[in-house]
Amino acid sequence: MSDDLVHAAKEAAVNAHAPYSRFAVGAAVLLEDGSMVTGCNFENASYGLSLCAETVVLATLNAQGKLRQIREIAIVGGTLNRREIRGSSPVRPCGRCRQMMTEAAQLALRDIIVHCASADLSVVEKFWLSDLLPLPFGPSDMGLVQDD
C-alpha cells in the first residue's frame, strides 16, 4: 500500500508547474477508505506565492470534505526534465507543510505517517508527523477547544 502511495506521488510530480525552480514535487494522501488523492507544486512568477505539493493536496482534501480521513502522505521530488523527475535525495516537507499537515492530523484525531522519497525511489524514509514537528502550534495554544 505504501508503495502505491509513493508511486502515486511520483506520478503527480510530473504535472508540477515548476518552471522557476525546475524542482517538481508530488504528494499523495492515503485516506482511511484506502483511496488516494494527489497534488503537485504550483509555482508563480512572483516566487513567494508558490504552493508546495503538500499544501495543494491538503487544500484539495479540504475542498472534498475529506481532511479528517487522512492517514498517510507520501512526498516525492526531483529535478524536472521533459516530464521526468530525477534525483536520489528524499524530499522532506518544509516547515510550513509540516504545520499544514498537523492541522489535518489534529482534525483527524490521529498522527500521520509521512513517507519521504527520492525521485529515483532509491530512498524512501518513513516518519511520524509528530516526530517531524514536535510541539506544534494548534488551537489549544489559542485557548480554543477543537470541536469542528
54 is catalytic: yes
H or E segment and range at residue 61 = helix 53-63
Which residues of the shown chain bind ligand THU in the complex (CB under 6 A)?
18, 21, 23, 25, 41, 43, 50, 52-54, 91, 93-94, 97
Which C-beta is closer to ligand THU: that of 18 or that of 70? 18
Chain-centroid distance, C-alpha 33: 18
69/90 with CB nearer ligand THU: 90
C-alpha cell at 56: 495543494
Q: Give the angle subtended at the CA of 39 by the CAs of 13 and 108, to the nearest 5°.
A: 135
Instruction: In angstroms, give the least distance from the CB of 97 to ligand THU.
Output: 5
Considering the candidates 11, 54, 103, 125, report the single residue annotated as catalytic. 54
What letter would DSSP give residue 81? E
Which residues carry out catalysis? 54
